[in-house]
Structure 1
Amino acid sequence: MKFGVVVFPGSNCDRDVHDALVHDLKQECIMLWHKNEDLSQFTLDDCIVLPGGFSYGDYLRTGAIARFSPIMKSVVEFAKRGGKVLGICNGFQILCEAHLLPGALLRNEEQKFICRNIFIKDADGDVLKIPIAHGEGRYYANEETVNELEENGRVLLHYCDENGNITPEANHNGSVRNIAGICNKERNVFGMMPHPERACSAALGNTDGRKLFNKLFLTANIATASTVHN
């Protein structure tokens, strides 16, 4: 499987994603400048990654300008044809702005930037420790949309405590129903606020990010799960 990591002006996690994929997960990875519209080297079995950071300085609102970068037209077309797309943190915000995923990411409930290790529960019921680093990570969608996400197994990640309990106290940014990551109806576009690329190296003391990447793309995975385990 081949990955393409998009570099926007203001991206600051693009190299982190590249290094995690290449050095820790041993995958082929190509850096893509945001003005490059050509994705012809990627097949529908490959994945385009929109990394975290502050694309275009978060002007207007997070992800709003990056959504109109030249490459995004190609990313949207790639996704609509069935290609895999992953948005991490700012990338998740961009996917929502591009209407590839429903909802929006709002300012954290306590109006503060959060940077810490937290726990998330995936659709298999496994608990993973993954870092977060965001100021606008509070996932919001109307009740009808959230019900549809949960009923159809499209919530891939919930914020939880270390024992897997999905509680208000474990909901660090105030996201609706503790949602930390979702996918589209076709299950080929994924968005999450946590940063798995920062938890892929034993040198960093945490390799739970490898488990998440593997489940999403490289093994039998949570992306095909039809139910969410609470």
Structure 2
Amino acid sequence: MSAEEKNDQPHYHGHRDRLRDRLLDRGGESLADYEVLEFLLFSARARGDMKPLAKALLAEFGSLSRVLTADPETLAKVPGMGKASVAALRIVPEAAARLAREQMVDAPVISAWDQLLDYCRITMAHAPVEQFRLLFLDKRNRVIADEVQQEGTIDHTPVYTREVMKRALELGAAALILVHNHPSGEPEPSPADIAMTEELRDAAEKLGIVIHDHLVIGRAGHTSFRAQGLL
């Protein structure tokens, strides 16, 4: 390539190769958050400088995690974000959730507690409304089923004790782990959360089903009813 041809190259020429080599040689921790977004956006656009769009996304949402968990409609409102770019970002939390779930179900949940928490944070911490999730376990504490039983509003999810117990019996579950999220970000259980848990525990005990824990998931962390002496 002549000197004149080199001068005609856009300023980002070779940038993708340099990022790729840095990732492979030095690992993902060598990349800034905007560079991670650039990498993801490369798959949506064969050419072009993705750095301005990556930085615009971070400025709009405030953090990498908020970009990757934003809903498609909100992402699409950012100038420069087309369907392919939105899809390139939205596949990341789905892949992360599947990886975390596989790691969680490969061993008894009680001995894979960190993986369980990772899975719950990935799938629920950034949800815009409350979800009530049930993990049904067998006698060896392995996951039989993982189901979102109810979705509610930003600060409430209806929980029906009879439906929970009916589903547990259908699956032949020996134990349950209850999980719900607080979209407000704070994982402190409310009086209603405590009362609902007591009602479920009493009903489960009558059927010989153990409730191992109730986890409240928020962006700021999590609360375990068992650890707090609430269960």
Asked if TM exceeds 0.5, the reply is no
Greater C-alpha Rg: 2
Higher relative contact order (CA 8 A, sep 6+): 1
Larger strand percent: 1
Give TM-score scaled by structure 1 length. Answer: 0.28
Q: Which has the larger share of helix?
A: 2
